[in-house]
Structure 1
């Protein structure tokens, strides 16, 4: 049975944003109006779609994990979390959100790898020291690992309903005495920095004015809601992926002509008593514009 359906309204995606501001001509672009629907995760339909989104979330480090087992765990909780689709329930999800109890599943080998990975990344960043300390305890607290990802062009307005429904579903699960009484929520996500192109550095032609090679670039967010969530965090911070890419990899992910991008992992730890307020602020920040 599907989750109660919600209408996201007309989400407008600019298909051709390149315009000539000096031409004086009217903007020429196409728009695509899409109605999104929310459903419960369903094992017989969503396995491949959720697994692909997990691969996108973990980026190059995805090969370090047993994503098939992790996907099965997510799908074993059909009343917890959401998928977002466009063309009906039988299609692949464009986005998903779920939460996994690290304490409850710590003894599963595939979850042990995830926990060890997060612990090592937390130790690599002093800003994530509180997270490293929690995961180093003899008994891991009841941390809810929030896993969420969406296709690159899916608008961020689909996010608040997923988080709001998650809070409701956790409340219902607790009434049924299910193991979702979390002490903390840990959101895994991704950021990126723009990096100077290696191709440009090798080019002997005069360069356009830009930041010098080796200068620091601002951290950018794939998920804009992360900037709101981390305002409520005990700690948050980024980390490098374990699997290294060759020097040309950033050029293959250029966002502008002059710059490539370097993705990084990102973790946000929020205490349970702050999570509801964080979700409410995300909903306010991402509410559709009138």
Structure 2
């Protein structure tokens, strides 16, 4: 499938963004608490933009390398280095990199994660991995894709995933809706999988999601069979993500408004706002927290998004990152 040309830009440090000042502060704390050596690449669709000779899509950005931030007497190093990000179709050689990114996708559950990675890599027409140009390790810094729950209902990994979600949901008014998504409505639902390193420059996000939703649209016209084309005619998206939630969020003495939740991913605040329904659940896996986050717990968040809201999401994400 043809790709739109690449976009070049100069993003600032890869810090998570969110709407409220409090959430932005907490997200920065959470990001700075985890040091990664590099940030990942990605593909960027866009109009009137130059493309590379081999079909890759490139972007220029900065990587936070705080662990290497030693300086000489004569020269200071500000903790960032310049990097070129590139978007690629998933391929079999990306297996280990994608599996590392997804290793806590379902908390600490023992499940067929390898099977999910195989499904993702087996769908190259819709999906993006992000890498750094000329990276000898060929590391994967982000993966985003959408998988039809009906098309992939039989693999063990999807059976495990559905079982996990049904056990995690304890909200009576949501369980029936979730069951429909996983059962009778599965052919209309896309599992939106989006995982990345914590300090991926946020300026990449609009292009990353534009690439995904453009690919979904193209697939409804360009796939070779009617069955495949229909499999990308999503009416809904299901998203599994993580947030920091205040331990007293459900009690009167807890904080209110923006201080209740810290969104680790900038886009999750928009998805949450636009969701038809959602539920959260406690996670056994907990990250190392700073004093500022001592009253917050890493929490699972599942959201259902009507596909008709995706244009609004894309506009809001562009507006948020361009602030």
Q: TM-score scaled to structure 1, two decimals?
A: 0.75
| Larger Rg computed on CA atoms | 1
Determine if contact 2:97/2:140 at 8 Å carries over to the other structure. yes
Q: Measure the CA separation in 2 of the matches of 1:76 and 1:12.
A: 33
| Structure-2 change in CA distance of 1:12 and 1:66 (3 Å) | same
Does residue 1:135 correspond to 2:181, yes or no?
A: yes
User: Residues 42 and 138 from structure 1, CA distance in 2 versus in 1: closer, same or farther, beyond 3 angstroms?
Assistant: closer
1:200 corresponds in structure 2 to none
1:228 alignment counterpart: 270
Shift of 1:66: 0.7
2:198 corresponds to: 152
The yes-or-no answer on 1:60 pairing with 2:108 is yes
Q: What are the superposed Cα offsets for residues 28-48 of structure 1, whole Å, 9 maximum, x if unpaired?
A: 94333333221111212x111
What is aligned with 2:99? 51
User: Residues 75-224 of structure 1 correspond to what in structure 2 (within 5 A)?
Assistant: 75-88=121-134, 91-122=138-169, 124-126=170-172, 128-129=174-175, 131-135=177-181, 137-138=183-184, 140-175=186-221, 176=223, 177=226, 178=228, 179-193=231-245, 216=254, 218-224=260-266
CA contact (8 A) 1:191 1:263 kept: yes
* Contact persistence 1:10–1:33 (CA under 8 A): no
Structure 1 portions without partners, runs of 5+: 17-26, 197-213
Report the counterpart of residue 40 of structure 1 in structure 2: 89
Change in 2 beyond 3 A, CA 1:159/1:130 = farther
Q: How many pairs does the alignment contain?
A: 250
Compute the RMSD of aligned alpha carbons: 3.1
Structure with more relative contact order (C-alpha pairs < 8 Å, separation 6 or more): 2
Equivalent pair of 1:81/1:98 in contact (CA under 8 Å): yes
Aligned CA distance change for structure 1 residues 260 and 94 (closer, same or farther; 3 Å)? farther
Contact 1:5/1:39 (8 A) holds in 2: no
Change (3 A) 1:60 1:49: same
- Give yes or no for the alignment of 1:275 onto 2:310: yes
Query: Partner residue of 2:282?
Result: 240
CA distance in 2, matches of 1:156, 1:15: 16
Deviations 1:112-146 (A, max 9, x none): 11112223323x13564464242364463421000
Q: Which residue number corresponds to residue 17 of structure 2? A: none
CA 1:29–1:139: 2 relative to 1, 3 Å: closer
Task: Measure, in 1, the Cα distance between the counterparts of 2:315 and 2:135.
Answer: 27
1:111 and 1:139 map into 2 onto residues whose CA distance is 15
Check the 8 A contact 2:141/2:197 in 1, yes or no: yes
Deviation per residue, 1:218-269 (Å, 9 max, x gap): 221111211111222101231123xx46xxxx5x612227827521111111
The answer to whether the 8 Å contact 1:253/1:260 transfers is no
Name which of 281, 293, 298 aligns with 1:263.
298
Question: 1:256-287 deviations in whole A, cap 9, x for unaligned?
Answer: 27827521111111112122222222222123
